[in-house]
Every structure is written in structure tokens, then in C-alpha cells.
Amino acid sequence: MLISALADLSGTPAATIKYYVREGLLPAGAREGGNRTSYDDTHLHRLRLIRALLEVGKLSIGSVSAVLEALDDGERPIAETFETAQNALSRDAVPGVSEPGAESFERADGVIERAGWAHCGDNVGRRIVAQTIDAFAKAGHPLTDDYLDRYAEAAATVASADLDAVGAIADRADRTELMVVGTVLGDTLSLGLRRIAQAHRTAERNLR
Amino acid sequence: MLISALADLSGTPAATIKYYVREGLLPAGAREGGNRTSYDDTHLHRLRLIRALLEVGKLSIGSVSAVLEALDDGERPIAETFETAQNALSRDAVPGVSEPGAESFERADGVIERAGWAHCGDNVGRRIVAQTIDAFAKAGHPLTDDYLDRYAEAAATVASADLDAVGAIADRADRTELMVVGTVLGDTLSLGLRRIAQAHRTAERNLR
């Protein structure tokens, strides 16, 4: 298909498509005779993935590029691709926050241990959790361990759903892609559902 | 205290403090003799809250302003203040995404109904959930109802922890503040813990 058809099908302006190609996010189309370039379904599929990462996942162009590169490397173990996606996402999610204190790291480690997450290594989430513990305390509302453990229980529920969905897919490339898409979009899904659950509970308890 | 002491205690440069005052986020200090302005603990407390909202919550200056205004209105029902915080946060979290399709709204309503969230009204989360359902489908990975319901279960766990923490506070202003801080920072806490849980489960299942 020509770029105009790709633009129509994907809802992405032709100028934006060309920009993605220049930035290396999207492979160039095939040169046909004259000035024509043709695109196919793989371009459409990739374009939809890019827009999901940019718009709903709020990733920067640089982060999308890092994630797609990991995705396209068929040799890379899936856990490593996953880590790249996690790091890219988390860098954009929690920018420029000051280094958490040692006590907050200890408390984060406490949650991790109580949750039984033995295999998490040097995961980026540990730092995010420590930063959040710090931020609550600095804002004058230190968190209890009970609160942290209930959040951890919810995270375990969500991660099981993620891994079950990923494990149900046979094709490796497709599976890795869902892992990346799910990491990005799952955060937004959690956020949306949390809003509704909070509104329901607030009305239910009739707090004033 | 003078602005230099406030800057030291809060870790915020004096120029930034002056900027927050100009933007109406922070009340002006008391004019003393000559060119001196003095600040007190209420300024320090508010400054820490502002930084938590900006840095960890990633709110824009405009959204912080809307949230603080709701917080300072002692007449406002707590559910309404909460809604203001939710809207401000969500506007910044999911910007400029296209309107979800009717089918995705129907599926979002299905999750809400199955979760028993009868009292959520016209909550902003409904739109976010519909957008995410749309985005997964557009990226080529449509979600199952089972996946959505497990995410909803996690959201219910988290919202109960939130409301228990808020309900344990007697002072109304303090309680409302925790509601706002918790809405903002809780998303980040969830995100961090989800990363760790995902890494653990991926290693545990030894996916390749």
C-alpha cells in the first residue's frame, strides 16, 4: 500500500509516519519505480504498537526506540527484553526524583521479602518503591507496612494475570510483544480501575 | 524563618519557592520590616506536598493548583475533593488519546458491574479503562474479561487499603490531604511493585 493508505488505516498523518521512519522506529517502505514507496501489514502492525506506546504508555520517542530494538532482537532472552521495557517505562514514569534514603530501601526490601519475591534481582521497581515510601513520608503521611503489603498483594494479582496472558501465546515474537504492550498499558488499566474502586468505596463509606 | 532557611529545610531553591508563590501554589510569606519576608511550618508542609505532587505524581503546575484549591476549600465534601484530584491526575496521566469506541465502554461497564462498583457514577476511570481496552485491541492484543476482572480485583484491594488509611485519620484537612497524596503516589507505588512482581514471576516461570 502507499503511504496515504497506511495513513488512513492507522489514523496517523503521513508526515508523522515519515518522522517515525527517520527516527528508526518504523522500517522504511520498499522503493518502487519512480518516487513511490510501498508499505505492508507489518508496517501497519508496528505503527499501531508505536502509537500505543507513545499515546497510552506516554513513552518518549527514545524509550520507544529502545523497547522496539529489544523486541526485534530474536536472540535476546525474554526476561531481558522485559527488563528493557520496564526500564524504559520507569524512566519516563518517575523522572528526576531524588535518591531515596537507606531506610526507604530497607522498607522496600521488607515488602519484597514478605511478598516472597525471591527472584526479582536488581529490579527497577525496588527503587521506585523506595522513592514512593520516601515521598509519602516527606509529604507528611508515612506509610504503614500493612498498607505496603496490601499494595504488594494487588501487584501479585496483576502480575499473575500478565504472565498467564503472556504464557498462553505460542509465538515467541508475539509473546514478547504482549509483554511489552502489557507492561505499558497495564499501568494505565490499573490506574483507571483504581479510580473507580476509590470512588465506589468513598461513596459506600460516606466519608465527609 | 527566612526564605533561605525554608529553601534549606525543603531542599527547594529560593527561586523555585518564589515561582510557586507567583503561581499561587504557596501562600506568600509575612512581610517583616524592610525587604524581609518570613515563612513558617505551614509553608514547609505545603512545599513538601507540592514537590510530591510535581515530582513523584508528575502533575503539571496547573493540576497542582486545582488540587490544592480543592484541598483548601473546607466546605467541599470529601468525595468532591477526591474527584478533583482524580480528574487532575488522570488528565495528566492519559493525555490526548482518541475517544474510545462504544464497544470498549460497554466492556468497561461490564467490569464495573462484575466488580460490584455500583457507586462510581460518572468516574474518570471508566473512560481510562475503555481507552486502555481500545489501545490493547489496536496494538493487536485484545484483552479477555478474565484479565480485566483480575485487574479489577487488584484495584479493589488497593482502594480498600487507601480508604482504610484515610478513614483512620480524625482531622478532616489531614484526611483530605492523605486522599490526594495517596491518589497521586499510590499509582507510582503500584507501578513499582508490579515491576518487581512481574520480574519475579518471569524468572519463576522461566519463560524464553
Whole-complex ipTM: 0.83
| Residue A167 confidence (pLDDT) | 85
Q: Do A204 and B119 touch (CB under 8 A)?
A: yes
* Helix, coil or strand: residue A117: coil
Quickly tell me which residue has 504488594 as its cell. A152
Residue A170, chain B, CB below 8 Å: the answer is no
For B6-23, write each residue's pLDDT tens digit. Answer: 999 988 999 999 999 999
Residue A122, chain B, CB below 8 Å: the answer is no
| Residue B94 confidence (pLDDT) | 54
Residue A173, chain B, CB below 8 Å: the answer is no
| B154 vs A49, A118, A190: nearest CB | A190
The three cell numbers locating residue B46: 505545603
Predicted confidence (pLDDT) at residue A62 exceeds the cutoff of 60: yes
Q: Do A79 and B156 touch (CB under 8 A)?
A: no
| Residue A207 confidence (pLDDT) | 64
- B contact residues 15-44, partner A, Cβ 8 Å cutoff: none
Q: Looking at CA atoms only, how far is residue A36 from chain B in angstroms?
A: 27
| B136 vs A11, A157, A185: nearest CB | A185
Q: What is the mean pLDDT of residues B101-119?
A: 93
A155, B193 contact by CB (below 8 A): yes
CA B74 distance to own-chain centroid: 20
Residue A90, chain B, CB below 8 Å: the answer is yes
| Per-position DSSP letters for A55-111, written without gaps between them | IIS---HHHHHHHHHHHH-TTS-HHHHHHHHHHHHHHHHSTTPPPPPHHHHHHHHHH
For chain B, what is the mean pLDDT?
Answer: 86
Residue B190, chain A, CB below 8 Å: the answer is yes
Predicted confidence (pLDDT) at residue A143 exceeds the cutoff of 90: yes
A159, B194 contact by CB (below 8 A): yes
Phi and psi at residue B18, in whole multiples of 5°?
A: -65, -35
- A contact residues 98-117, partner B, Cβ 8 Å cutoff: 98, 111-112, 115, 117
Amino acid letter, residue B202: T
Kindly report which listed range (A97-111, A157-171, B85-99) carries the lowest average pLDDT score. B85-99
Look at residues B197, B116, B198, B195 and name the one whose alpha carbon lies nearest to residue B159: B116
Kindly report which listed range (A2-16, A135-149, B36-50, B165-179) carries the lowest average pLDDT score. B165-179
Q: What is the mean pLDDT of residues A9-27?
A: 92
Predicted confidence (pLDDT) at residue B92 exceeds the cutoff of 60: no
- DSSP alpha helices (H): ranges in B52-171? 61-72, 78-93, 102-114, 124-138, 145-167
| Residue B207 confidence (pLDDT) | 64
